[in-house]
Structure 1
Amino acid sequence: MREVVVGGAQMGPIQKSDTREAVVERMIALMDRAHEAGCDLVVYPELTLTTFFPRWYMEDQREVDSWFEREMPNEATAPLFKRARDYGMAMSLGYAELTPDGHHFNTQILTDKTGAIVGKYRKVHLPGHDEFDPERSFQHLEKRYFEPGDLGFPVWRALGGIMGMCVCNDRRWPETYRVMGLQGVELVMLGYNTPSVNSQKGDEGPEKRLFHNRLVVQAGAYQNSTWVVAVAKAGVEDGHPLIGGSLIVNPDGEVVAEAKTEDDELIVHPCDLDACNFGKETIFDFARHRRIEHYGPITGQTGIVRPKE
Structure 2
Amino acid sequence: MARIITAAAAQMGPIARAESRTSCVNRMIEMMREAKSRGVRYMVFPELALTTFFPRWYMEDWKEVETFFERTMPTKETLPLFEKAAEWGIGFYLGYAELTEDGHHYNTSILVNDKGRIVGKYRKVHLPGHSEHEPHRPWQHLEKRYFEPGDLGFPVWRTMGAIHGMAICNDRRWPETYRSMSLQGAEIISLGYNTPDENTSAFEPKHLRNFHNDLVVQASAYQNSCYVIATAKAGIEEGVGMIGGSLIAQPSGEIVAKAQTLEDELVVADLRLDLVQMGKETVFNFAKHRRIEHYGRITSQTGVELPPAGEVEGEDVLSRK
1:172-251 pair list within 5 angstroms = 172-205=173-206, 207-251=207-251
Report the Cα offset of residue 2 of structure 1: 1.1
What is the RMSD of the two structures over their aligned residues, measured on CA atoms? 0.7
Distance in 2, matches of 1:223 and 1:136, equals 36
Match of 1:65 in 2: 66
1:221 maps to a residue whose letter is: A
Residue equivalent to 2:42 = 41
1:272-309 deviations in whole A, cap 9, x for unaligned? 11110000000000011111011011000000001002
Q: CA deviation at 1:203?
A: 4.2
Q: Secondary structure at the match of 2:163?
A: strand
Residue identity matched to 1:258: K
1:259 is aligned to 259
Query: Structure 1 residue 137: deviation in Å?
Result: 2.7
1:163 is paired with a residue whose SS is strand
Q: Which residue of 1 aligns with 2:135?
A: 134
2-side partners of 1:135 and 1:153: how far apart? 35
Q: 1:111-150 CA distances to partner (integer Å, 9 max, x unpaired)?
A: 1111000010000000000000133232100000000000
Report which of the two structures shows the higher radius of gyration computed on alpha carbons.
2
SS of 2:133's equivalent? coil
What residue is the counterpart of 2:293 in the other structure? 293
Are residue 88 (structure 1) and residue 89 (structure 2) matched?
yes
5+ residue gaps, structure 2, are 310-321
Q: Distance in 2 between matches of 1:119 and 1:209?
A: 30
Tell me by how many angstroms 1:42 deviates: 1.1
Residue aligned with 1:12, SS:
coil
Asked whether 1:102 is paired with 2:103, we answer yes
Question: 1:168 is matched by which residue type in structure 2?
Answer: C
Corresponding letter in the other structure for 2:55: P
Q: Give the secondary structure class of the aligned counterpart of 1:47.
A: coil
Q: Percent identity?
A: 60
Do the aligned residues in 2 keep the contact of 1:227 with 1:271 (CA within 8 Å)? yes
Mapped to 2, the partners of 1:41 and 1:291 lie a distance apart of 35
Q: Is the 8 A contact 1:10 1:233 kept in 2?
A: yes
Deviations 1:77-123 (A, max 9, x none): 01111111110111111000001111100001111111000010000
Aligned partners of 1:203, 1:147: CA distance in 2, in Å?
A: 27
Trace 1:51-62 onto structure 2 (pairs within 5 A).
51-62=52-63
User: 1:293 is matched by which residue type in structure 2?
Assistant: E
1:302 corresponds in structure 2 to 302
* TM-score relative to the length of structure 1: 0.98
What's the TM-score once normalised by structure 2's chain length?
A: 0.95
Q: Which amino acid aligns with 2:258?
A: E
**Aligned partners of 2:264 and 2:54: how far apart in 1?**
19
| Whole-angstrom distance in 2 between the partners of 1:135 and 1:48 | 28
Letter in 2 for 1:223: Q
Distance in 1, Cα, partners of 2:94 & 2:166: 10
Q: What is the alpha-carbon distance in structure 1 between the residues aligned to residue 187 and residue 106 of structure 2? A: 25
- Paired position in structure 2 for 1:30: 31
On the 8 A contact 1:137/1:200 being kept in 2, the answer is no
Unaligned runs of 5+ in 1: none
Equivalent residue letter for 1:301: Q
Give the Cα–Cα distance (whole angstroms) in 1 for the partners of residues 275 and 133 of structure 2. 46
Moved more, 129-138 or 265-274: 129-138
The answer to whether the Cα contact below 8 Å between 1:123 and 1:170 also exists between their aligned partners in 2 is yes
